[in-house]
Structure formats: C-alpha cells, structure tokens
Chains A and B, each alone.
Chain A
Amino acid sequence: MAAGVATWLPFARAAAVGWLPLAKKIMPKPPVDKKSRNDEILFVNVSGLRFQTWKNTLDRYPDTLLGSSEKEFFYNEDTQEYFFDRDPEMFRHILNFYRTGKLHYPRQECIQAFDEELAFYGIVPDIIGDCCMEEYRDRKKENQERLAEDTEAENATDTPLPPHSTSRERLWRAFENPHTSTMALVFYYVTGFFIAVSVIANVVETVPCRPLKGSKKDLPCGEKYTLAFFCMDTACVLIFTFEYLMRLFAAPSRCKFMRSVMSVIDVVAIMPYYIGLVMPENEDVSGAFVTLRVFRVFRIFKFSRHSQGLRILGYTLKSCASELGFLLFSLTMAIIIFATVMFYAEKGTKGTNFTSIPASFWYTIVTMTTLGYGDMVPNTIAGKIFGSICSLSGVLVIALPVPVIVSNFSRIYHQNQRADKMRAQQKVRLARIRLAKKGTTNAFLHYKEEGGFQDRNSDNALCLKNRSSFEHQHHHLLHCLEKTTSHEFTDELTFSEMCMTESVGYRTSRSTSISSQQGVSTSCCPRRGKRRAIRLANSTVSVSRGSIQELDTLQVHKTSAGPQSRSSLNARTEDLKLNCEDRDFTAAIISIPTPPANTPDESLPPSPAIPGILRNSRSTFFTHETVKISSL
C-alpha cells in the first residue's frame, strides 16, 4: 500500500456505515485490536546518532524492518531504544522515507552502499521517487557495467581453466579463445590460411589461362587444371568439415550452436561441395549445381571469427537495420514512381528501350544513383524533363538519408541500448508494482480461502497466518463490502471459468426469454468477444468449480452431418450471438449449476434442468457438431 494510506484506513472504515442500509446480510465482526493504540515516541539509536519518531510513522510500512516486528530484535532493554549498528548518514534518508512517503537517493553516496542499506531495512528500491529515480538508475547501470567489465577482464584468456574441466570444455575454450594454448593457436592460423586459400582458388579458377596445346580458345584455369583445383577444394572442405564437427562436439549447447550465425555460414560454405559429390554428372542438374558453387564465396565470411572488426560491422548493421530499411523503402517508392512516369512518357517512341515499367526500373536506379550508364536514354521531351527531375531527386533521396543515417547511427546505437534497458526496467518495475497490487488483492482471497471468516476461537487463531492489524482491518472492510453487495471477490481465472459455464448454462434456461440473454452475456463476458477464447472442437472443457455438480465435462466431437438439423433447436440463430462472438464451437448445456447455498440471491435464475442442444449461429463452416455429456 502506498504511503500514508494506513492513516486513512480508519476513515474508510468509518465511511462503510454508508453501506449498511443497503446490505442484505449482516456485517462481519471487526477484528479486535489487541495492541494498545496509544501513539508513542520511539527512540532509534544508529551508531550513536539518536533519532526519535512516532511509532505510527514507522508503522506505515509494515513490510519493512522498522515497520514490522523485526525491529524488536534490535531493541535494547537497558537503554529503552532500538540500536542499529549501521551508517547514521544513510539512516536519515531511510527515516525520511517513512516520514514523507518518498524515498530519495542522496547523490553523494555510493550506490552500492545505498543499496545495501535499503536491503538491510527491507525497502525495495523501486519506490524511489521520480525525482531521484533517473539518477539512481544511471548510477546503478554505470556501476554494473563497470563491474561487468572488470569480471570480463578477469575471465579473459589468461586465466587458468578450472581444474576439473572435461576435455569437451577445454576444446570449446580452445575454439573460443585461441590464445589459450599453442595447439589452439596453430589450428586458428591453419583454418585462417585455408579459408584464404579456398577463396583465392575460387577467384583464380575463373581467370582465363593459356589454352591447351592445339586449341585456340582461352580456357578458364579451373577447366584447365581441373584436378588440381579439385584437390585443393577437397582439402579445404575437409578441414572445414573437421572444424565444424569439432565445434559441434565441443559446444556446451548444441542447439544454440547450430542456430548461431557462424555455424550457418560454416554449413553453407561446405554444403555445395558435398551436394556436388552426390549429384550425378547430368546435364540438366549441372546448371543448378553451378549456381550452388556461388555459395562457396560465403567462406569469406568465416573470416569474421578471425576479425573483430567484421563482427562489429555486422552487429552495427543489424542494429541500424530500421534506418537502412527506411532508406530502402523510400528509394523503392521513388523508383516505382519515376519508372512509371518514364515508361508512360517514352511509350510513344519507336524502338524505345523503355519496354515496360520493370524495364524502366533499371533506368531509374542508374539515374538516381547518378551512375548514368547511358544504355537507356529518354528521347521525348517529356521523358527528358522527367529524367532530369529523376536524377535531381535521386541526389536528394540518396544524399539526404545517408549522412543522417551515419550521424544517427552512433547516436541511435547508444540510445537504443539505453532505451531498451530502461524499457525493460520499466516493464519490470510496473510488473512488480502490479504484483504488489495483486498481492494485496490476493492476500484477501487467500485469507478467505483459509477460512478466516469463521468466528475464531482461541484454538483456530493459531492456525491462521500472522497478519498485521492493518491487514486485519483492511480485510474486514473488504468483507463488509462483499456482504453489502452479496457478491464475493474472485480472481480472473476462476471468474473466466465460471463465466464460461454460466453463460453456457444460461442459454438454455433463458431460451424463452431471449431478449435478456444478450444482457446476460454482455455483463458476464464483456471482454471475451475479442478473443477466440474457447475452441471446443475436439477438446474437452472441464469445469472445476465445486458448486457446479451436474456439469462435469463437455465433449465435443465433430461429425459431418449437414446444418439442416439445426431446425430442431429451440433457439433462434441470431439470438445466440453473444458478445463472445467468435466462438466457433457449439456447446451443449445440460443443466444450470445450482446456486451455492450461501448466496440466496434472487439475481441468479431459477434452475430447472432443461436438457437441450444448442447450436451456435456461427457453425456455418464448422459442420454440425454433436455433443456428448459425460456425466449428468
């Protein structure tokens, strides 16, 4: 509960008098406050600095050290005060939190010391006021990053391995940090060498060599020295395969390794060779096979394991993807516009190159990027005018975003990191606040489940959990509200379970009074129209509310009978349109649950058991479904 709300609780309880004439039932007895309510001044001695405060002030936050009975452990009978052997300067801020309800972060203090004090006094740092929250978060993040750097530097390559590592772990470490052992370093350089060899071989084999004796045509070297190149390729692929398999074996998490980018590149680099081996020497497929050889060039990406810079580039491109995407999108728009315009402008010319709009794409791209090959030129006046507009706007479209991207890149890169972290923290913070809020609501529900409402005699009092007087009184207040309205608090889960069965149940009983059905469903399931919450086709729905005895499980089976048997129903189709509209199931209801004994509320409908089978109006494409009820 928020600050100082405890002081208003008596007032809220007093206001409950306003419910009394409306209540249908008797109010529960209020909790007896055993402790004396006299307010007194407490003395708190923190390392010699004596603080004094009202007891009520500390009681405002019962889930902290000072507000709960935990402080009794620190009570010194001789001096009649609470003694804490902690920092007195920090305690001032802690005590101010109790007094004002806001926790401030003192800027001159060390963030870790502050955190430790908060942890000792049982205060969650999330309640730091907005005035100091940003500063606190920044300092904390800075501190954490510094600590992370330190630990990373510690764990760097030079530390010895833990003594009992398996050979697998050692192997993995050798792969990740080649500087650890000479063997790893040798392997590292060897693979690097072979990558270079493989790439160079790919390049060289297309260079035309001197032709064979007796032939005039220039051959590419690959075809002249087929065997040599084949051997070299085989050697490289063997090395790469060996390396990949070793990495796979050594990886701590094989699935994760297989999904990583580097392993995908490895696989793509060696696959063409194996596919080439397997494929027959067939003219038809060899064309496709040639295409596969293109993938061999991906071996060059294997260098990114050897180069830190390449990895950083890849990462930054990935993080800048949205800006690049925007550039691409605006370029595409411009290209399409201008290509269309140029096509229609040049349409009349005889023998024109602008044969179609896609053909004009090439002209537009070449013009906008100011390349200007000249293989396609406009001939008409209109074409020339639009062509010049195209080239001018090309300069703008390309020249403008690029510097912006470049300058944004460094700003957005850093900002993104910070924004994401803040958002994650915010989400966590809100989630925690929500959890605390739910905690209070759940506290009441748990209290009810534990049977806290029976009149306790001294025996049962021991069984119930120890709760503060504030909680007692607050729960009593909520209980009074329940009795006033004759409805009970539940949580979302049980409510939706119940809603489903009840709304399903009400459809039979109200079949004669159709107009009120829609009213039933609107108030019962107002939110569920948006969700296809229930798919009962081929599923069983089990209702576990204790009070609903007759309806245990519904089993829905699909059969393929036509929809014409719907006419036997006693409900008209459009009236079955609940707010839970998108349900594409049909359900059968056998009986209404009997109202539980303790709520003799006339708002529940009378419960005759009307067997019947209803079909949903939406069963147009779900064919007729029969429903079997397992227990009645």
Chain B
Amino acid sequence: MYDDLELSVVCHRPEGLEQLEAQSNFSKKELKVLYRGFKNECPSGVVNEETFKQIYSQFFPHGDASTYAHYLFNSFDSSQNGSIKFEDFVTALSILLRGTTTEKLQWTFNLYDINRDGYINKEEMTDIVKAIYDMMGRFTYPALKTDTFKQHVDAFFQKMDKNRDGVVTLDEFILSCQEDENIMSSLQLFENVI
C-alpha cells in the first residue's frame, strides 16, 4: 500500500520526444500513440511488476501467465529496480519490432538467461519452458505430460548447444538461430504490430 503511494507521488516523466525518437526506431507519431496508451494505463508513468503481470495475464485467460510475465518484466526492466518506465518500454519495443535480427536474438537470449550470467543452462531453460506451458493452461490437446518440458528443453539444447558443454552462450544461440530458417522467417512476422 505504502509502495503504491510512493510510486504515485513520484511521477515519472519521460525524456523529450526528440530524444526518444533518436534513441528508438519509432517515428514521432508512433511514439505519441504509444505514450498516450501507456500514460492512460499507468498515470504515474511507471509499471510495477504486479500491474504488468495482471495486464499480461489478461491475454492468456486459459492458463497462468504470471511466471512468464515475471521473466518478461525482468527483461524489460533494464535498470532492475522493479518498475518499467516508458523509456524501457519503448527501447524494448523498438528492438522487438524494428530491430535487426541480431538485436532480437540478443533480446531473446537475455530473456532466457534468467540470472544474467551470459549462459543459458538447462535449469533456466526448463523454467522458461515451464512458464510458457503454464500459459496454455490445463486443457490442452494433446494433454501435457510431465516429461513434455524435459523433451522440449532437450530438443532445444540439441539444436543450440554446439559444443555440447551443457550451456548455451550468446554466440551459439545466435548462430544456431540463424541456421534455422523457420526462426528467421518468423522473426519478421511482428513488424507491423504498431
């Protein structure tokens, strides 16, 4: 409760429109649309994790999106202080929608690398995969089994871990993804989202 009061008193304003335009790949018009939506949802100018989880969960009513939202939140929150400002929001969207494939893959790597140590190990991957499957909910076809995650993670490591050392580094990740045509073509899909 006290936390909420603090945040609402401390109102955050983003840097100017020109600076944001320079830093991101969006035009002024797009930034205006983005900011109006953002400000309407979060009048205080920042999104905290609870709100973020609630918002993200609305898109996945079947299952539980809170774990994945937590990981997403951490990847968006560049300053790691528990709240996303508009600049973080714009930076991330700029990478995801208008960035180069390398940037996108880098962002994805950061998402998977939960502890930010530069390596993705099997536990982190299992956590991520489990979080994604949680969003599917319970009623799926075919039904989920306990070794679904394990198999998925194993398949992932089979593809990505070139030197078989049990962890995936950024370079291995980017290389493996670039070899996969499906991933490359899918990365272009979301460009027209805004």
Contact = CB atoms under 8 A, between A and B. Distances in A.
B119 interface: no
Interface stretch (A76-84, A105-113, A178-186, A490-498): A490-498
Interface string B12-40: 00000000000000000100110011101
A56 interface: yes
A56 B33 contact: yes
B142 A601 contact: yes
Interface residues of B, number: 63
B145 A21 contact: no
B142 A487 contact: yes
A470 to B, nearest CB: 11
Contacts of A473: 193
Given A21-B160, A24-B155, A30-B189, A499 B136 contact: no
Contacts of B147: 516, 519, 603
B50 interface: no
A602 B151 contact: yes
A490 B156 CA distance: 26
**Does more than half of chain A's interface fall in helix, strand or loop, or is it mixed?**
helix
B41 A502 contact: no
A56 B32 CA distance: 12
A488 interface: yes
Interface string A492-511: 10110011001000000000
B111 A26 contact: no
Interface in B57-103: 58-62, 72, 75, 89, 92-93, 96-97
B132 A22 contact: yes
Given A20-B108, A24-B155, A26-B185, A495 B192 contact: no
A263 interface: no
A56 B93 CA distance: 19
Contacts, number: 172
Contact of A481 (B56, B112, B136, B143): B136
Interface in A1-41: 1-2, 4-5, 7-27, 29-30, 33, 37-39
A487 B138 contact: no
B115 interface: no
Contacts of A99: 40
A495 B143 contact: yes
A440 interface: yes
Contact of A17 (B96, B148, B182, B185): B96
Nearest to A494: B141
A489 B139 contact: yes
A411 to B, nearest CB: 33
Interface stretch (A159-167, A207-215, A240-248, A520-528): A520-528
B7 interface: no
A319 interface: no
Interface string B114-154: 00000000000000110011011111111111111001100
B102 to A, nearest CB: 13
A330 interface: no
A545 to B, nearest CB: 9
B170 interface: no
A599 interface: yes
B56 A12 contact: yes
Contacts of A56: 33, 36-37
**Does more than half of chain B's interface fall in helix, strand or loop, or is it mixed?**
helix
A495 to B, nearest CB: 4
A20 B183 contact: yes
A488 B41 CA distance: 31
A481 B135 contact: yes
A437 interface: yes
A474 B111 CA distance: 22
Interface in A418-445: 437, 440-441
B6 to A, nearest CB: 22
Interface string B143-176: 1111110011001100010000000000001000
Contact of B33 (A29, A39, A494, A520): A39
A29 B189 contact: yes
Given A17-B104, A20-B183, A27-B189, A487 B96 contact: no
A478 B137 CA distance: 12
Contacts of B192: 30, 33
A21 B108 contact: yes
A477 interface: yes
Contact of A440 (B61, B108, B142): B61
B111 A502 contact: no
Give the 7 A-B residue pairs with the shortest CB-CB distance, closest first.
A7-B37, A495-B139, A14-B96, A487-B140, A27-B186, A10-B193, A490-B141
Given A56-B33, A485-B140, 17 more contacts: A2-B58, A7-B41, A8-B41, A8-B56, A13-B193, A20-B187, A22-B132, A27-B186, A30-B190, A38-B29, A441-B61, A477-B59, A484-B132, A487-B142, A489-B140, A490-B141, A603-B145
10 contacts: A4-B37, A17-B96, A17-B190, A18-B107, A485-B136, A487-B140, A487-B148, A489-B141, A490-B141, A524-B143
